[in-house]
Amino acid sequence: TGSGGANAGIPENAVEIARRHLVQPWPVAGSVGAEARALIDDGEGVYITDGDGKRLIDGPAGMWCTNLGHRREELARVMYEQAMQLSYNTPWYTMNAPAAELARRIAAAAPGELSHVFFTTGGSSAVETALRFMQFYNNVRGRPDKKLILSRGGAYHGSTYLAASLNGRPRDRDWMDGTDDLVVKLSSPDPFRRPKGLDVNAFANLLVEEFRDRIAAIGADKIGAFVGEPVQASGGVIVPPDGYLQRIREICRENDILYISDEVVTAFGRLGHVFASGDVFGLDPDMITFAKGVTSGYFPLGGVVISERLLEELRRSNHPDAMFAHGLTYTSHPIGCALALKNLDILEDEVLAHAREVAPYFQTRLKTLEDLPLVGEVRGLGLMACVDCVADRESKNPLQLDKAVGARIDAHCHELGLLVRPLINMCVMSPPLIITHEQIDTMVAILREGISRTMEDLRREGLWQG
Ligand code: PLP
DSSP state, 454?
Answer: H
Q: What is the pLDDT of residue 206?
A: 98
The preferred substitution site among 120, 157, 266 for testing ligand 1, maximizing ligand atoms within 8 Å of CB, is 157
What ipTM was assigned to the predicted interfaces of this complex?
Answer: 0.99
Q: Domain 14-71+351-460 is classified in which CATH homologous superfamily?
A: Aspartate Aminotransferase, domain 1 (3.90.1150.10)
Check if 14-71+351-460 and 74-346 are the same fold.
no
Q: Does the beta carbon of 237 sit less than 6 angstroms from any atom of ligand 1? A: no
pLDDT digits (tens, 9 = 90+) for 408-432: 999 999 999 999 988 888 999 999 9
Q: Does the beta carbon of 303 sit less than 6 angstroms from any atom of ligand 1? A: no
Label residue 452 by pLDDT band (50, 70, 90). Answer: very high
Q: For the chain, give percent helix, strand, coil, nearest 5.
A: 40, 15, 40
Buried b / exposed e along 63-91 (16+ C-beta atoms within 10 A): bbbbbbbbebeebeebbeebeeeeeeeeb
Q: What backbone phi and psi angles, to 5 degrees, belong to 218?
A: -85, -35
Label residue 1 by pLDDT band (50, 70, 90). Answer: very low
CA of 404 to the centre of ligand 1 (A): 24
Label residue 466 by pLDDT band (50, 70, 90). Answer: confident
Residues 6 or more apart whose Cβ sits within 8 Å of residue 359:
272, 381, 382, 383
- Do residues 286 and 260 lie in contact, with contact meaning Cβ atoms separated by under 8 Å? yes
Cross-strand pairs, 228: 261
How far is 249 from 345, CA to CA, in rounded Å? 31
Percent of the chain with pLDDT over 70: 97
Of 304, 308, 327, 325, the C-alpha closest to 316 is 308
CA of 289 to the centre of ligand 1 (A): 9
Asked whether the predicted pLDDT for residue 3 surpasses 70, the reply is: no
Average pLDDT across the chain, whole number: 95
How far is 66 from 72, CA to CA, in rounded Å? 10
- Domains in the chain: boundaries: 14-71+351-460, 74-346
pLDDT digits (tens, 9 = 90+) for 242-295: 999 999 999 999 999 999 999 999 999 999 999 999 999 999 999 999 999 999
**Residue 319 burial (10 A CB sphere; 0-12, 13-18, 19+):** exposed
- Assign a CATH topology to domain 74-346: Aspartate Aminotransferase; domain 2 (3.40.640)
Q: What is the pLDDT of residue 290?
A: 99
Q: What is the pLDDT of residue 73?
A: 98
Taking the model in full, what pTM does it have? 0.97
CA of 372 to the centre of ligand 1 (A): 31
